[in-house]
Structure 1
């Protein structure tokens, strides 16, 4: 597994800590440059929209879950992590966030129970390892459900923000939530995408882009860009955020009106 240099990881911790505080305050978020933090950009573009339902699929130990829980105190955050030991850590890390619900399950294309080979680092555990030779490594049976079924069972009709980090099985998560997506019940989707088609741990950006384009979603932005750690000069992966066209259209109309009024004022005073 490739590892990020320690000094870069430390600087990112400080950097994202500052962005988190700014993203949580509408008055400050407007000063953050576009492209650094999705919630700051969303606040600028959609100042009157509030998030009430957030899904963190592939929560691992809860780094992003905690960010969601703190930044969006009025939202319900559902965090999915199937591996027992990692799930226990997730629960401990989010115990003081009353708006977070932890779910010990993976989301996939269909409901199942599968055996996966556990990896040395919890962040790379994946359904891709189901049925692989154990080679002495521990194996755990995990529960897989679908986005559609989970929402149906809990009468969840709408998701404002869906974050997916499923280590290469992100498309299966989307297939299992096709009804929610096709019916327009998801506003924003954040997916980890790669730019090397030969890397099975990352869904190629083009695959993800085309999938969302076919369902009426636009690319909102690319965030948390990470260069190839080997030193080769190309982009390794990033978080791609997509927005439903109906949301983008709702934002564009008042902005267009404001621009037109500004032009009228310039002509009047010019």
Structure 2
């Protein structure tokens, strides 16, 4: 004999309310469209809009887990999802095995970007960084990523081009501890022209022959007049109000990082860590080779903690640029002992 609960569910369609009975005292009620129940293991259900087909893939060793991947359409080759353990970290990487095999280069670059951001986030915490200098901020992508990953200290962003700065300023207005400056940084205070119209690759330097061969965007260019300031002249304002400043320097200036670094002068010793895009293959005329850049940073007391490919040639597999993350080992805060 139906229970009162079941009889009530049976009456709802008569007044225009649809019911998806999940059993065990649970149901989904809705007025329009349709809903589909997709069993997920033994203890859960996915309730989806519409009546499309779904494929449920368990995630974990030997397909046994308490999490699942739910795909809208089954793969023509069957179960294409894979779950790869991240060593002994306890984490797992979900991969579409067919897609990652078809474009290994793109997969590797995406993995490197993820690992780099995780590493930098951990370093900011380990070194108790309370101010990140974001040089070559573009539209604020780096700063937004820091916030998503939990960094709560001050961000000071520098972006010289008008269009990108407008976007950066709009994003930073929502954040009380994010300062922005519409200037570039370099070896000397000056006025210069920057090549623009290259999306995130605007540069004070012209493209090299290799760069022109690699990127069609370099074929057309226009310039914009900008202000250049030395980093050491910006420090006091940027760090104002911070007790015991522990700054970190991130540079992504399309071949101009060493000029930015030189503009810090002796104040570079204030920074506990840094990040620079170093070139194995030069995209810009006059930019330093990777070995020259790293030697300069090392001479100033920084040591490599991570190298992550940023771009790689599809035809040869060669890395074009790396994100080089460096720290001052003696800047790690000492843990107090009883």
Report the TM-score, using the length of structure 2 for normalisation.
0.55
1:95 deviates by: 3.2
Taking the aligned partners of 2:205 and 2:90, their CA distance within structure 1 comes to 41
Q: Which has the larger radius of gyration?
A: 2
Q: Does 1:95 align with 2:179?
A: no
Q: 1:247-258 alignment to 2 at 5 Å?
A: 247=331
Say whether the 8 Å CA contact 1:60–1:87 is kept in structure 2: yes
- The DSSP-based 3-state class of the residue aligned with 1:92 is helix
Bigger mean CA offset, 101-110 vs 46-55:
46-55
Bigger mean CA offset, 151-160 vs 50-59:
151-160
Q: Does 1:194 align with 2:279?
A: yes
Of residues 260, 265, 271, the one that matches 1:178 is 265
Residues 98-150 of structure 1 deviation map (CA, whole Å, 9 limit, x = unaligned): 221111000000101123342x2231222225xxxxx9954322111011000
Other-structure match for 1:162: 249
Higher-helix-fraction structure: 1
Other-structure match for 2:32: none
Of residues 223, 242, 256, the one that matches 1:139 is 223
1:201 deviates by: 7.9
> Structure 2: which 5+ residue stretches go unaligned?
1-88, 93-110, 207-218
Other-structure match for 1:213: 298
Taking the aligned partners of 2:190 and 2:302, their CA distance within structure 1 comes to 29
Other-structure match for 1:19: none
Taking the aligned partners of 1:31 and 1:97, their CA distance within structure 2 comes to 33
- The DSSP-based 3-state class of the residue aligned with 2:234 is helix
Bigger mean CA offset, 169-178 vs 135-144:
135-144
Q: 1:201 to 1:77 in 2, by over 3 A?
A: farther
Q: Report how many residues are paired.
A: 216
Q: 1:81-92 alignment to 2 at 5 Å?
A: 81-92=159-170
Residues 243-265 of structure 1 deviation map (CA, whole Å, 9 limit, x = unaligned): 013136x68x99xxxxxxxxxxx
Quote the RMSD (CA, aligned, Å). Answer: 3.4
Q: 1:32 to 1:105 in 2, by over 3 A?
A: farther
Higher-strand-fraction structure: 2
Other-structure match for 1:223: 308
Q: Does 1:128 align with 2:205?
A: yes
- The DSSP-based 3-state class of the residue aligned with 1:128 is coil
Relative contact order (C-alpha < 8 Å, sep 6+): which is higher?
1
- The DSSP-based 3-state class of the residue aligned with 2:272 is strand
Residues 56-83 of structure 1 deviation map (CA, whole Å, 9 limit, x = unaligned): 1001111112112343553110111111
Bigger mean CA offset, 68-77 vs 57-66:
68-77
Say whether the 8 Å CA contact 2:121–2:151 is kept in structure 1: no
Say whether the 8 Å CA contact 2:132–2:248 is kept in structure 1: yes
Bigger mean CA offset, 157-166 vs 84-93:
157-166
Say whether the 8 Å CA contact 2:156–2:238 is kept in structure 1: no
Residues 171-193 of structure 1 deviation map (CA, whole Å, 9 limit, x = unaligned): 00000012122xx2101110001
Other-structure match for 1:149: 233
Taking the aligned partners of 2:121 and 2:139, their CA distance within structure 1 comes to 27
> Structure 1: which 5+ residue stretches go unaligned?
1-29, 130-134, 255-270
Q: 1:44 to 1:139 in 2, by over 3 A?
A: closer
Bigger mean CA offset, 213-222 vs 67-76:
67-76
Bigger mean CA offset, 217-226 vs 80-89:
217-226
Of residues 238, 241, 245, the one that matches 2:322 is 238
Q: 1:78 to 1:45 in 2, by over 3 A?
A: closer
Say whether the 8 Å CA contact 1:69–1:75 is kept in structure 2: no
